[in-house]
Structure 1
Amino acid sequence: MDIAKYITTAVILTSIFGEVEQKWIIYFGGILAVAFTLGWGLYLVRDKKKGE
């Protein structure tokens, strides 16, 4: 889940300091990467029931 925070920070800093004309690409890619890494992290730390 820490990776999701790092990606969010990188997207924000890139959008502030970077000179990218199409910032929606950075936002879209960042949102996808954050959603994937956050979802995967939550999947890995979920509570497991007995028998799983």
Structure 2
Amino acid sequence: MGGSQLAVLRDWARRPALPDTDDGHRLQTALDAFLDHARTHGYVPEDASNAA
């Protein structure tokens, strides 16, 4: 996985707030799927204790 992908996963694992808009919901769905896929393949966020 590339550095930018790891950065996105690390940040998304902290569950930042996204706008309550259609675009925000679509982005949340996409990022959830990205994180789920990464976890399935062995990715563990550095701050797993704070992950949802």
Shorter-chain TM-score bucket reads: 0.3 to 0.5
Task: Give TM-score scaled by structure 2 length.
Answer: 0.44
Point out the structure with max Rg over C-alpha: 1
